[in-house]
Amino acid sequence: SKEDVKIVIVGAGIAGLSAAKHLHDAGFNNVTILEATSRIGGRIHTIPFGKTESEIIELGAQWIHGEGEENSVYTFAMDHDLLNPLIRWNWRTGKFYNESGHAISEEISMKAMNLAFEVEETLDEESRTKNILADEDLYLYGYFDRRFEKLASTEFPKDDEDNAKDCFNYFLNYLRFDNGNDLRLQFSQNFGGYFAVGENKDVCISNGGFQTITDILASYLPKDSIHLDSPVSSIKWSTPEIKVVCGSGAEFSADHVIVTVSLGYLQKHHEHLFEPSLPLNKSQALHQIGYGTVNKIFLYYDEPFWTKGQGTIRFAWTDKNRDINSADEWYKAIDGFDKPHNNAHVLVGSVVGEEGKYIESLDKEEVSRVCTQQIRMFLNDDSIPAPRDVLVTKWNSDKWSCGSYSYMKQESSESRRNDLAQPLYNDDNKPVVLFAGEAYHKTRYSTTDGARSSGIDQAQILTNLYSS
């Protein structure tokens, strides 16, 4: 019966916590979560940054992608009154500048962004219906670049064409968020998924930080069910009773294990984590799905130099020519600086892919110097002060995340993701090791919603197993 079933969950991110709560609600009372670090939340991580505890920043997830009932994080946040007032994010507004210090008129930037998002929506639809045929458009970069070239000359008067191109260049940078990598690595035919709920429906947690969600999830669970500082080093799964061994030597026996470690972690460590090792289709699928890096730069100013209502600076480079993976030009990959709603003294920008990995090696002073120089150059204002403090996230070198989130690269496909998500069965054909987390969701991969939904889905497999 459910009371006797021993379930171990590896990882206390939103997938693991959502699975645990679902099992707990269904009457399983022997559920143990083993978490490697000294905190819960995983890639959801809110910390104070400033003079008071209430000035916070989000090191990881920041938006609920998708405002609506179909988003499990949105509904959870709604139910717990975390979206009051509702803060929507608008990607089309803000001030666009180019590196000559020229402020592009809002009329041009708005029009360019509206057109760019239309191209994106078309591709999203085409990639779902598998209508993309032109093979010169196989890679995302080419697909967008070609269309933007054309739109700039057909949709804008001659005098505005160059400014429009700059705005489109901004968009090419912004799009890299989608895969946490370079657009030259993502196949346009695999584009659909992330945007399943549509752009312009990103909302923010207004009442606390994103971590409030994982904190609340944990509060529903028995206190002693979450073991922190307990990195799992091996899962011996072919014996009648599964043995989960921690780095400290502690051993837990289980009837079922739900593994929620990131795809990046599994790519690196699966060979020694599972005993016996993973079946071939799964270990291959692990490397056929992409896993990228998104890092953020936070600049803290004692006196915000931007005035109220402003503070969204979008870098619209005229010179977009940079080699793929050119670390020394990492600053060209900063999309801009924005003021987060929950910290009046902070600007946040992001750097993705190889450039994002590279900035993890730079010291604060260097990042501060380069960012200040760049802001002064784009705003054409040498009086802009240097920040008092700088923080750069290090998601790639983070031992337990190994990057930011998964994406579809050329050899990826829905069936590969399916292979990834399949449980491991024992000789009695019972699912003994299950996989949950953002990377295992068919359509909502990369998001907190995908992670939470997949945790609930895997928990439901076990619930069904013991209800029949």
Which chain residues interact with ligand 6YU by CB under 6 A?
10-16, 34-37, 42-44, 60-63, 65, 94, 177, 231-232, 260-262, 265, 294, 296, 312-314, 335-338, 348-350, 395, 400-401, 404-405, 437-438, 446-448, 451
Q: Considering the complex, what minimum distance in angstroms separates the CB of residue 11 from ligand 6YU? A: 3
Query: By C-beta, is 93 or 464 nearer to ligand 6YU?
Result: 93
Q: Among residues 221, 255, 235, which one has the least CA distance to residue 1?
A: 255
Nearer to ligand 6YU (CB atom), residue 215 or residue 338: 338
* Residue closer to ligand 6YU, measured from CB, 230 or 463: 230
We find the least distance from the C-beta atom of residue 283 to ligand 6YU, in angstroms, to be 17
Closest to ligand 6YU by CB, 61 or 390: 61
CA–CA gap between residue 202 and residue 64 (Å, rounded):
6
Asked if 298 and 60 touch (Cβ cutoff 8 Å), the reply is no
Nearer to ligand 6YU, 161 or 338 (CB): 338
Nearer CB in complex with ligand 6YU: 9/115: 9
Give the other-Cβ count within 10 Å of 155's Cβ: 14
CA distance 267 to 283: 8
Nearest-approach distance from CB 129 to ligand 6YU, in angstroms: 25
Nearer to ligand 6YU, 301 or 466 (CB): 301
Nearest distance, CB of residue 148 and ligand 6YU, angstroms = 19
* Minimum distance from residue 190 beta carbon to ligand 6YU (Å): 18
CB of 189 to ligand 6YU, least distance (A): 23
Provide the minimum distance between the beta carbon of 135 and ligand 6YU in the complex, in angstroms, as a whole number: 30
